[in-house]
Structure 1
């Protein structure tokens, strides 16, 4: 509708308005079914968005843990270099070999602890990665369910315009597929 009071109907608007204002039980059933499917579709859409956000958050957590592990591996490498230098210093004539042997042992001991921490962080990173993949798979299921519901709503609109009973059943069938997909998403399958 324009600001000047001029209103243009789409090709199907008149038929939809006529069906909405009639006492047609068929049209009423289709209208109620469409409203229910739209509500269910909104719920599926919400769930899809929530799982997509979870997947992104889990992926981010994985990257953080991977970075922390990388930092520890750099620290490990630094201790290795210091250990190597201490071991080389032992061979230099006239130096305090006890001091450098103690330093080399200390660096070796510190490296082992750093290595354990880095490996633990890598495992945590992989766990977050797995959670992200699972959430993304669940998101795809919710998106498939939402798509099926949207197709069912479209079929319902066509059913209302054509008054074809078989399209009504097709709409129910596609909505059922959406419900099955939503069930799979809810069960993490």
Structure 2
């Protein structure tokens, strides 16, 4: 349950030198990004220069519950939230340097973004248009189907690839089960 940013230091130094990179984008391996996701990150960086963490994933699982509304909508496509979905967390590495202590994840689930606010010290700028789709059918959030943690308001690109991607994952999974 502890998030330890120092775990990244050896490979960051190897790839980027002693100073390291300016940013770190953490994603899940079962996410699929719209090819234009970086443009949205850049847009949010420009529009909200005081951002702490940026999240490009919007889903029911990570949205206000029980018919509550977003309480911190900052523009038509963007909201401030107290947490980030673990599948999409874009940080300034300076956030880690400013708070070098490890951060305890409150519920022990590990790769969820409950700690993103603790690291960055500010709320999460969240795109209400999802630039990431989550295909973790057998994971914690999806519990056996692809719709439970499905992206809300995905880009046209993600909407277009979803059906074929789900079909391909199902076929590979069935083939893997037959081999076992």
Q: TM-score range by the shorter chain?
A: under 0.3
| TM-score (norm: length of structure 2) | 0.18
Structure showing the higher strand proportion among its residues: 2
| TM-score (norm: length of structure 1) | 0.17
Specify the structure having the higher radius of gyration (Cα): 1
